[in-house]
Amino acid sequence: MSEAEDFTRVAHAAREAAAELAPLPRAPKDAALRAVADALVARAKEIVEANALDIEAARASGTAETMIDRLRLDEKRVESIAVAVREVADLPDPVGEVVRGSTLPNGLELRQIRVPLGVVGIIYEGRPNVTVDAAALCLKSGNAVLLRGSSSAYRSNTVLVEVMRDALRGTEVPADAVQLVPGATRESVKHLMRARGLVDVLIPRGGASLINTVVEESTVPVIETGVGNCHVYVDADADLDLALEILVNAKVQRPSVCNAAETFLVHAAVADAFVPAALARLAAEGVTVHGDERVAAYGDHVVPAGDQDYRDEYLSLDIAAAVVDSLEDAVAHIRRYGSAHTDAIVTRSQRAARRFVSLVDSAAVAVNASTRFTDGGEFGFGAEIGISTQKLHARGPMGLPELTSTKWVYIGEGHLRTSTGTVIAGDVE
Amino acid sequence: MSEAEDFTRVAHAAREAAAELAPLPRAPKDAALRAVADALVARAKEIVEANALDIEAARASGTAETMIDRLRLDEKRVESIAVAVREVADLPDPVGEVVRGSTLPNGLELRQIRVPLGVVGIIYEGRPNVTVDAAALCLKSGNAVLLRGSSSAYRSNTVLVEVMRDALRGTEVPADAVQLVPGATRESVKHLMRARGLVDVLIPRGGASLINTVVEESTVPVIETGVGNCHVYVDADADLDLALEILVNAKVQRPSVCNAAETFLVHAAVADAFVPAALARLAAEGVTVHGDERVAAYGDHVVPAGDQDYRDEYLSLDIAAAVVDSLEDAVAHIRRYGSAHTDAIVTRSQRAARRFVSLVDSAAVAVNASTRFTDGGEFGFGAEIGISTQKLHARGPMGLPELTSTKWVYIGEGHLRTSTGTVIAGDVE
């Protein structure tokens, strides 16, 4: 059977499983998730063995040790993956929630009810824990999932999916609700992207180039996640000590993540006071500053910044910087170069904060806080499937409700619509 | 200047206007809409004259009179378009609504706030009143709009947009927030579909082929609207008199709209009693029934139905029909052939109603009511931009809130994230 046929078979099976899974109430879904968690722990050895083969192959092909560490699973890590699955089981079920409801003037009872999306496709890179995390979130929200992880983790993912499916066989959740996209080829991504009608939404999690490819080529609706070119703007009215702590935290606390700061902008009125202190502190923290001429005037170690520096995510101990003449210029810079993830202002001025919040068109806007707080865990969602930087459907951290759609239900007793209003045909006995 | 350059200029102008319009509160937006309504009435003669040229051209090219009637504007119709604009002004402003909000355990004040989408592209056919209705809904929800109407209404649309833009010049809403896509060529639709980054969402309103083209080719996110292959299922436990009234109303009351019924399914247990009565009544109403063999067994005038009959929207006095052996078979038929718009069950059984609502995966599910009630006006939205049949972002009738996104705002006093929790850097004076 060709890979394309394999894919179609798997996608159809997921679609049927989704129809079976959608009407299930919470209890059987939670029981299934707990069975998955138990199986992961019970079969940890098998998982670690498969993972060792991935690691061996990665090492043989000269993969960097930091990447290999991301790929590695040991029994302790498998254990913590299982804990995360149990935490998802403990979260409230979004399905069935009545989002809005009323009795219409004509007596129709109208309700808008949360329902699963159907089949969710996840395309991701790196860590094999995503395989289980994503599957757990999809199952909990009543969705079937098609998983397409990185080819370097294909052996690990294959076993993880096998363990999950085996565990589901003893539950009310159909095993086919969790599927690995067959093959780890580039073609297998294409099958997913062209599966309109079989797959309801694609969520690419990874770098900008993966996401752009999916957005350009997919006929399945896409939710973009994860690219974060976040800014910290130090306003003319900022408490400069606070500004420095926020800037350093946003850049340094975890540079490899999407909510880390990649650029700071300083109002000209406080540049003399702020920029030298920032350059010294960032240097001490091991951060390279890529600045415009106005920033470079304050220090010898500033690397000249070009357009691309303002545009890219470094995801490293690098940061771009510029001096701006006004809050409006800061906003214009953010609109031009930003990725609409998270942008922060540091200011004591209520007016400046209000204006920045109103003008910056990003998924999250922070006032006197580090950009690092844009996170499903921090927001209290319990878990997140990613951080959406698009405007449709979901924006910002995506929890379980963002993995659902809604359905309108209206109940009458023979309600007919006429040109002048509603007529009731008769009474239901 | 080429049409492509023209388009880019217009789209950039819309984008800038959107940034200006987004932070405006309700009052200036309402004032602008009222100015638009006044201008439409004041310049009705000009509009009707331009429309007469479209009608003349349509007639010369042999357009059917029913289509010409859809195209026609007279002073009375212009007046009622202006009334609709005033009604939009009277609706509550969705922008700024706090959708969720809390103080996090670490003291961050978190709010999720409704914001405009940005630039909305509307591709539509037929009636020129959509030009004004869509513009009014977009402006009210803080969005700029790029309008691409049918080429047959290009002269009417050009003058309508001119009148709206002139009226906006005296208001706080930038005139560039309303734009007609230059040219009425097929290319002009392509420009819209490829304008990712300039246009935030495309809403095609029209037939299935237009919508499919846009979905397949657009890199801009799309909201599908308007294709309605709606079903009425007559359950074994139905009140058959009620079922007949609902079926006739759903089919006949306005056959050309998307929430009209296109297929009815009858449980085998009541087929003997229901189908002959339905065939007689539908014939009396001038409806042609396209049925399977089991339906045909009850009457001479049943046209044999093929797969395509079950799949298509007739939008005419035709209806497909089939006898099914169970509620589950009815659901399977709807899943297979339906467009996930609105499907109705007629039943006295609470259990059957519950099961049908749970299993049918459509934007709206009606119980003992005509499918014709799936409508923004009937649902109390005041106005609608269309009826979404997709699952992402909006499903069912789309009112003003569906033309918005959200933004997360969090406010701290020096909140830093550390590996062990939150640390406050200092106090804002």
Evaluate if residue A429 carries a pLDDT over 80.
no
- Residue A414 with chain B: CB contacts under 8 Å: 239, 242, 245-246, 368-369
What is the distance between the alpha carbons of residues A87 and A97, in angstroms, rounded to a whole number? 20
**A255 plus A392 within the same structural domain:** no
The pLDDT of residue B428 is 43
Mean per-residue pLDDT, A376-395: 92
How many CB atoms lie under 10 A from the CB of residue A248? 22
Q: What is the residue whose two structure tokens read 């959200």? A: B406
For residue A239, the chain B residue with the least C-alpha distance is: B428
Cβ atoms of A358 and A245 within 8 Å: the answer is no
Which of A373, A394, A416 is the endpoint of a domain? A373
On whether residue B424 sits in a domain, the answer given is no
Q: Which residue of B has its CA nearest to A394?
A: B393
Q: How many contacts, defined by CB atoms under 8 Å, are there between A and B? A: 237
Query: Which residue in the set A245, A392, A426 is minimally distant from B221, CB to CB?
Result: A392
CB contact under 8 A, A239 and B426: yes
Count of CB atoms situated within 10 Å of the CB of A308 = 10
Q: Are strands A318-324 and A201-205 parallel, antiparallel or unpaired?
A: unpaired
Q: Are residues B209 and B282 in the same domain?
A: no
User: Is residue B283 one of the residues assigned to a domain?
Assistant: yes
- Asked whether the predicted pLDDT for residue A279 surpasses 90, the reply is yes
Give the chain B residue nearest A240 (alpha carbons): B428
Task: Give the gap in angstroms from C-alpha B328 to the nearest C-alpha of chain A.
Answer: 12
Mark whether A116 and A159 lie in a shared domain: yes
| Predicted local confidence at residue A3, as pLDDT | 84
Asked if B200 reaches chain A (Cβ–Cβ under 8 Å), the answer is: yes
For residue B406, the surrounding DSSP H or E stretch is: strand B404-418
Q: Which residues in A lie closer than 8 A to residue B246 (C-beta atoms)?
A: 414, 416, 425
> Would A300 be classed as within a structural domain?
yes
| Segment-wise mean pLDDT, segments of 10 residues, chain B, 429 residues | 88 97 97 98 98 96 89 96 97 96 96 98 89 97 96 95 97 98 86 92 87 87 89 98 98 94 98 98 97 96 96 94 98 96 98 97 97 95 91 95 97 95 75
pLDDT at B244: 98
A105 & A139 share domain: yes
Q: State whether A239 and A177 are in the same domain.
A: no
Q: What pLDDT score does A7 carry?
A: 94
Mutant choice from B21, B143, B405, B420 vs A, greatest count of A C-beta within 10 A: B405
* Chain B residue with the nearest C-alpha to that of A107: B369
Cβ atoms B65, B113 nearer than 8 A: no
User: Collapsing DSSP states into helix, strand and coil, what is residue A99?
Assistant: strand
Query: Which residues numbered 355-374 in A keep a CB inside 8 Å of some CB on B?
Result: 357-359, 361-370, 372-374
CB contact under 8 A, A409 and B373: no
CB spacing of A374 vs B348 below 8 angstroms: no
Contact B368, B347 (CB under 8 A): yes
| Domain with B314 in it | 230-373
Last residue of a domain, one of B373, B398, B422: B373
Q: Residue B241: which of A222, A410, A426 has the nearest Cβ?
A: A426
Strand partners, B415: A369, B424
Check pLDDT > 90 for residue A28.
yes
In a shared domain, residues B33 and B157: yes
- Mark yes or no for CB contact A241/B368 under 8 Å: no
Interface of B with A in 252-271 (CB under 8 A): 253
**A375 closest CA partner among B415, B306, B116:** B415
Interface test with B, best of A257, A408, A418, A423 (most B CBs within 10 A): A408
Confidence at A164, pLDDT banded by 50, 70, 90: very high
Which of B106, B381, B409, B427 is the mutation pick for testing A, counting most A CBs within 10 A? Answer: B409
pLDDT digits (tens, 9 = 90+) for A294-317: 999 999 899 999 999 999 999 999
**Once rounded to an integer, what is the mean pLDDT over residues A363-385?**
95
Look up residue B380 and give its two tokens: 């109390």
Decide if B379 is inside a domain.
Answer: no
Q: Judge whether A111 is closer than 8 Å to chain B, CB to CB.
A: no
A427 lies in some domain = no
- Chain segment A87-104, per-residue pLDDT in tens: 999 999 999 999 999 999
Residue for token digits 């359905």?
A407
**Domain assignment of residue A424, yes or no:** no
Interface of B with A in 21-40 (CB under 8 A): 22-23
pLDDT at A1: 67
Residue A57 CA to residue A51 CA, distance in Å, equals: 10
Q: Which of A204-218, A321-335, B237-251 has the lowest mean pLDDT?
A: A204-218
List the CATH number of the domain containing A163. 3.40.605.10
Tell me, yes or no, whether A294 and A335 share the same domain: yes
Write the CB contacts of A337 (distance below 8 Å, at least 6 apart in sequence): A229, A263, A307, A310, A311
Three-class SS of residue B288?
A: strand
**A81 and A10 share a domain?**
yes
CA-nearest residue to B364 within chain A is: A408
Q: Given A373, A393, A424, which residue is the final one in a domain?
A: A373
User: Is B169 exposed, middle or buried, given 0-12, 13-18 or 19+ CB atoms closer than 10 A?
Assistant: exposed
- Residue B207: per-residue pLDDT: 79
pLDDT at site B429: 44
Q: Are residues B298 and B366 in the same domain?
A: yes
Segments of A97-150 assigned E as strands: 98-103, 109-116, 119-124, 144-148
Round to whole Å and give the CA distance between B167 and B163.
6
Total count of domains within chain B:
2
β-bridge partners, A367:
A345, B411
Pair (B183, B251) in one structural domain: no
Which residue in A22, A110, A379 is closest to B361 by CB distance? A22
Please report the pLDDT score of residue B427 as a whole number.
53
**What per-residue confidence (pLDDT) applies to A428?**
44
Residue B196 sits at the chain A interface (C-beta within 8 Å): yes
| Within a domain: A199 | yes
Are residues B426 and A391, on separate chains, in Cβ contact within 8 Å? no
pLDDT above 90: residue A65: no
Are residue B221 and residue B234 in the same domain, yes or no? no
Q: Which phi-psi region, left, alpha or beta, contains residue A149 (left: φ > 0; alpha: ψ -120 to 50)?
A: beta
Is some CB atom of chain B closer than 8 A to the CB atom of A220? Answer: no
- The reply to whether B127 and B262 lie within a common domain is no
Query: Which class for A304: exposed (0-12), middle (13-18), buried (19 or more C-beta within 10 A)?
Result: exposed
> What CATH number does the domain containing B356 carry?
3.40.309.10
Residue B185 lies in a domain: yes
- CA of A106: which chain B residue's CA is closest? B378
Q: Name the nearest CA neighbour of A141 among A409, A380, A391, A399.
A: A399
Average the pLDDT over A51-76 and give the result: 93
Q: How far is residue A366's CA from residue A334's CA, in Å, rounded to a whole number?
A: 13
Query: Does the CB of B98 have a partner CB in chain A at under 8 Å?
Result: no
> Cβ distance B50 to B73 under 8 Å?
no
- Mean pLDDT (chain A) is 95
* Measured distance CA(B130)–CA(B384) in Å, rounded: 11
